[in-house]
Structure 1
Amino acid sequence: MTSVVVAGGGSAGHIEPALAFADAVRRLHPDVRVTALGTERGLDTALIPARGYPLELIPPVPLPRRPSLDLLKLPGRVHAAISRVRRVLDEVEADVVVGFGGYVALPAYLGARGRVPIAVHEANAKAGLANKVGARFAELVAVAVPGTGLENEQVVGMPLRRSITGLDRAALRTQGRKFFGLPPQGPVLLVFGGSQGARTLNNAIADALPDLLHAGISVLHAHGRGGEPAPPARGYVALPYIERMDLAYAAADAVLGRCGMTTVAEVTAVGLPAVYVPLPHGNGEQALNARPVVAAGGGILVDDAEMDGDRAVDELIPLLTNPRRLAAMSRAARASGHGDADQRLARLVLDLVRGHGGGAGDPVTEVIPIDPRTWRGR
């Protein structure tokens, strides 16, 4: 029996593509054994067992973003995590480790090195530290978008759950609008920015809402659990969080949102035009995530500092009141996406296992040193 170990714990951005990949593996070969690595931190214990996968816990190895006492403790923590990873690999008789970045992936890569083949999937336009390390000795480096900086990258897209990639928006349009209490006719704008990224979007929509409603545009707005909705109005539905994103996508005609890789991948997979507003902090990866879609004609990119009520009106009303433009951008968005990324990655990994001729060499025990004086974080 083939045994696959996935390492994608911590945040939903790492867990969801890992589980979408695992689902694809099981669809292709139901007898494959899939085991997930995770920690008690983050969402691992909540999301992974709920999807039906055994979860093996390893000690967390948070990566400090600047020189500190925690950085000096890092080698000891890494060693403990690697030891646990190797015990798990032996227990499940692993044939391959597939990592999706984050602090679970780094000890998984180091623990698997020299024992079983390693596959890396990078979701963002700029690779994180864990995947930069793992890619150095991985036999497969898959990426969501080109230009990550990882050597020998293969563009496969972002693995997504089937409820999104198989979504028939037209067939579910009436159900979606009824579910959220939206008008059955007329254009609908879907707005969401996540709990950490909603403030700019919330303020812009609050200012633009009267003009949007006057133009006949209804709004479904996920304002975040700590965010403020706009004042109540007919045709405006505000929620702190949307659990049924499939029905939200089906109800909508366009999106106003951030451009994390999962968001971009889902919006393009369902074929929705979007106005993307990248978060103004980090390493600029959000703008890079959206640029291929924008270049293909499936989206519009607006800098966070420029997104206010007036800019929202200027971008959204001409788009949502022009059915031909909506249709053209929808086709471009879908064409720029990778709705089969989960299955493509699953086939590549299973081919790697089948084509691997025995062990990957003698176990390697060293940890790659990190010099606090040159530390630059993720």
Structure 2
Amino acid sequence: MAEVFVLAGGGSAGHVNPMLATAAELRRRRPDAELVLLGTAEGLEAELVPAAGFELTEIEKVPLPRRPSMDALRFPRRWRSATATARAAIEGAAAVVGFGGYVATPAYLAGRSAGVPIVVHEQNARPGLANRLGARWAAAVGITFDGTPLPKARLVGLPLRPAIADLVRDRATDAVARSVAGAQFCGLDPERTTVLVTGGSLGAARLNATIPLVATALVEAGAQVLHLTGKGKSAGVLELLGAAPAQVSAHYHVREYLTEMEQALACADLVISRAGAGMVSELAALGIPAVYVPLPIGNGEQRLNARPVVSAGGGLLVEDSELSSTWLREHLLPLAIDAGLRARMGAEAAGAGITDGAARLADLVLEAGGGPR
């Protein structure tokens, strides 16, 4: 009878991509094993899981109601449905692996009830509610950032999505050739220093409002900018660039989104971004120096995500409220100008990065499941 591994994660790319990377590593090691991927019909997993060649077992999305509402009235029925799906999925499983979010909680509870070993992976420096719960019963807990406060935590890093794992290998073989290919794909000049600006798919208002203010200075310093504004957010950036000389606009490239993000990272000499766990982990693994601007809302997890690589000298951190044209001229321009400074910072980033997170997490899963690694 084939081994069965259940992986539960969904809602955001931060949960889905590590799940897919781990599933791919388990499939490589255990080609005969059955992999069951739990996710919702509404989240990104509904698109990303089938695209990666896996079948999605749909489970109802059941947010914990925080106040009286229709959702609160529907909660008991939806919770019973989700837990029933999870119990059926883990029957006979060697291990259940959770990546946090709504999907993970029913899987953790079903695993505990059935006596199936639980493995938790936490992507952020500050763990979420589902993983804090799952870690209580887990056989193993893998964390992305050292110091994440969970019991039995072992540092494994972030399982890198295949496109980034491939880029890590390509850069180790011939970084120059891969950079040129990435620049050509993005319509950039391979000879100029490339500054990548990204706030993720939703964009970052502060980056969009501030980086164009130093467009002329960056271009005059020999750089070019690839600014990914977020979907529907390009108009404001283009308006700020409207008064710039033509030679500046020619080297300041504005796009809303880039599906093939690995192409931009292949040619990026310097990145300015938010500090989501995925971005911090990918930039460190690739050895790319960065300026991190943590999201100013939430529980402060982005600041904590960036702390290890910044402390190692692999990047700079600036609070959203402090990012200004003055700050950029004082801190960003020297990096854009000085290749040696960027090289040193990139080396420090690489030293803090982890490139084999999927392999490390798969080790934990196979150990918990009782089989050889």
Q: Distance in 1 between matches of 2:184 and 2:90?
A: 48
Identity of paired residues, percent? 47
Alignment partner of 1:219 is 2:225: yes
Q: What residue number does 1:164 align with?
A: 164
Q: What residue number does 1:337 align with?
A: 353
Which residue of 340, 355, 365 maps to 1:324?
Answer: 340
Q: Deviations over 1:280-326 (max 9, x none)?
A: 00000000000000000000000000112222222211012111111
Q: What residue number does 1:234 align with?
A: 250
Alignment partner of 1:202 is 2:203: no
Q: What residue number does 2:97 align with?
A: 98
Aligned to 2:369, the other structure's residue is in SS state: helix
Alignment partner of 1:292 is 2:293: no
Superposed displacement of residue 76, structure 1: 4.2
Q: What residue number does 1:120 align with?
A: 120
Equivalent position amino acid for 2:84 in 1 = S
Q: Distance in 1 between matches of 2:258 and 2:181?
A: 15
Q: 8 Å contact 1:319–1:325 — kept in the other structure?
A: yes
Q: What residue number does 1:26 align with?
A: 27
Higher relative contact order (CA 8 A, sep 6+): 1
Q: Distance in 2 between matches of 1:348 and 1:138?
A: 11
Equivalent position amino acid for 2:118 in 1 = I
Q: What residue number does 1:347 align with?
A: 363
Q: Distance in 1 between matches of 2:209 and 2:331?
A: 15
Equivalent position amino acid for 2:60 in 1 = P
After TM superposition, the structure 1 = structure 2 runs for residues 48-59 of structure 1, keeping only pairs within 5 Å, are 48-59=49-60
Q: Give the aligned CA root-mean-square deviation in angstroms.
A: 1.6
Q: 8 Å contact 1:197–1:258 — kept in the other structure?
A: no
Aligned to 1:113, the other structure's residue is in SS state: helix
- Bigger Cα displacement from structure 2, 306-315 vs 99-108: 306-315
Q: Distance in 2 between matches of 1:271 and 1:74?
A: 45
TM-score normalised according to structure 2 size: 0.91
Equivalent position amino acid for 2:6 in 1 = V
Q: 8 Å contact 2:111–2:118 — kept in the other structure?
A: yes
Q: What residue number does 1:87 align with?
A: 88
After TM superposition, the structure 1 = structure 2 runs for residues 31-46 of structure 1, keeping only pairs within 5 Å, are 31-46=32-47
TM-score normalised according to structure 1 size: 0.90
Q: 8 Å contact 2:221–2:336 — kept in the other structure?
A: no
Alignment partner of 1:189 is 2:195: yes
Equivalent position amino acid for 1:10 in 2 = G
Superposed displacement of residue 75, structure 1: 4.5
Q: Distance in 2 between matches of 1:23 and 1:288?
A: 28
Superposed displacement of residue 166, structure 1: 3.2
Q: Distance in 2 between matches of 1:86 and 1:109?
A: 10
Superposed displacement of residue 80, structure 1: 2.3
Q: Distance in 2 between matches of 1:125 and 1:282?
A: 13
Q: 8 Å contact 1:203–1:308 — kept in the other structure?
A: no
Q: What residue number does 1:63 align with?
A: 64
Alignment partner of 1:259 is 2:260: no
Q: What residue number does 1:17 align with?
A: 18
Q: 8 Å contact 1:195–1:226 — kept in the other structure?
A: no
Q: Deviations over 1:231-255 (max 9, x none)?
A: 3601111111011111111111010
Q: 8 Å contact 2:49–2:56 — kept in the other structure?
A: yes
Aligned to 1:175, the other structure's residue is in SS state: helix
Which consecutive unaligned segments of at least 5 residues does structure 1 have? 357-378
Q: 8 Å contact 1:176–1:248 — kept in the other structure?
A: yes
Q: 8 Å contact 2:292–2:318 — kept in the other structure?
A: yes
Q: What residue number does 2:150 align with?
A: 150
Q: Which has the higher helix share?
A: 2
Q: Distance in 2 between matches of 1:312 and 1:78?
A: 49
Q: Distance in 1 between matches of 2:118 and 2:203?
A: 33
Residue correspondences, number:
353
Aligned to 2:36, the other structure's residue is in SS state: strand
Q: Distance in 2 between matches of 1:174 and 1:196?
A: 28
Q: What residue number does 1:369 align with?
A: none
Q: Distance in 2 between matches of 1:109 and 1:296?
A: 35
Superposed displacement of residue 24, structure 1: 1.0
Aligned to 1:345, the other structure's residue is in SS state: helix
Superposed displacement of residue 79, structure 1: 2.6
Equivalent position amino acid for 1:304 in 2 = D
Aligned to 1:354, the other structure's residue is in SS state: coil
Superposed displacement of residue 119, structure 1: 0.5
